[in-house]
A and B are shown apart, each in its own frame.
Chain A
Amino acid sequence: MTFQLNPKHLIASALVVAMSVPALAAVVRVDNAKSNVAITFKQMNVPVDAKFKKFAANIDYNAANPETSKANVEIELASFDLGDAEYNKEVLKKEWFNAAQFPKATFVSTGMKANGAGKLVVTGTLTIKGKAANVSFPMTVKQEGANQVFDGTLPIKRLTFNIGEGEWKDTGMVADEVAIKFHVVTTQ
């Protein structure tokens, strides 16, 4: 099959490309390979690190006017990785995430406030296991070449979201405090 270069098609293609450029520039994509969402908690005082392998984040950051910035994050709870297959299965059960009924945890920002250069205070609603809670946490933003890098730690209490029911309610065994750490890289 031969391809005939038709000047008319060429012009039409050029037009399509030209029109899409401004639209493309406004779209900020999260670079999932460079981003991560991890948690840290203590089990009988032993620090335990785990991560979520699958999540989708949208950060619409307005450097000129940070207060108008927005962010939302969706985390697939089934992608939780404690580094052990048996325990990964355990945390999806009813007592923990109840992932069958509540497969995703979500965060939707309700406000952002500038708090010094490259610093923001984010407020929003965190929903896990059907329980919504208002949360607030500091976030930093850095420009690295064409990328924007967002970092922050959101401290939560697992029992607010009924994570760890029944025999697992004992916070002497698994601490109530859980830190959600995120590192999100967006490209334009």
Chain B
Amino acid sequence: MTENQRYPKTIVILHWVIALLIVSAFALGTVMTDMRISPTKLQYYSYHKWIGVTVLGLVAIRLLTRLFTRAPAHPTGMSAWQAKAADAVHVLLYVLMFAVPLSGYFYTSAAGYPVVYLGLVQLPTFIAPDPALKSSLKELHELLTDVILAVVVLHVLAALKHQFIDKDGLLRRMTLNK
């Protein structure tokens, strides 16, 4: 397999790091919201927010890298509609990787709790505390989380289908060259 059949190194690394962070944020988010109020719950909320901000930063770097580098071509034998669907899912994932953390960021701002990244740096708030906006943003954050979950499941199923049914070696595009 030649180099241009893989994504650039930066993209590959960012893909897997971001994937891991998204799964962690999702797991924390699911667990923490069901917990009784406790120091651990508050700790999880902080971690969840730090991860979200990290994803936001990394996705920005990834998007810039993606725009200025070439993505490998779709595997030969992939139908036009499949190629279009794959592109659409990728675009949607990029949009959601911004939208999910941003909605959470605005939600916590509206709730009156600024994000203090890693407990060290207080990040700016762009909206003032607002109870009505807080509940709308909470719903939006939850809705977007459901959407990204569905799209990620689709993305993973498609990748597995290529790997194990089509056997077209698609997954190798997202691996590092030895």
* Residues of A participating in the B interface, judged by any CB pair closer than 8 Å: 43-49, 83-84, 86-87, 90, 167-168, 170, 173-174
Interface centre among B37, B39, B46, B129 (most CB of A within 10 A): B39
Grouping DSSP codes into helix (H, G, I), strand (E, B) and loop, the B interface class, with mixed when no group exceeds half, is loop
> With the chains together, A84 CA to B116 CA distance in Å?
20
- B128 smallest CB distance to A (angstroms): 12
Task: Verify A83–B120 contact, CB threshold 8 A.
Answer: no
**Known contacts A84-B111, A168-B39, A173-B43; is-contact A44 B116 (Cβ 8 Å):** yes
Task: Verify B113–A44 contact, CB threshold 8 A.
Answer: no
Produce 1/0 per residue, B105-117, CB < 8 A to A.
0000001111110
Contact among A45, A90, A167 with B120 in the assembled complex (CB-CB below 8 Å): A45
Contact among A46, A83, A87, A90 with B114 in the assembled complex (CB-CB below 8 Å): A46
Q: On chain B, which size bracket covers the interface?
A: 10 to 19
Residues of A within 8 A of B46 (CB): 44, 46
- A173 smallest CB distance to B (angstroms): 4
Task: Verify B116–A45 contact, CB threshold 8 A.
Answer: yes
B160 CB-CB contact with A under 8 Å: no
- A2 smallest CB distance to B (angstroms): 53
- A169 smallest CB distance to B (angstroms): 9
- A81 smallest CB distance to B (angstroms): 11
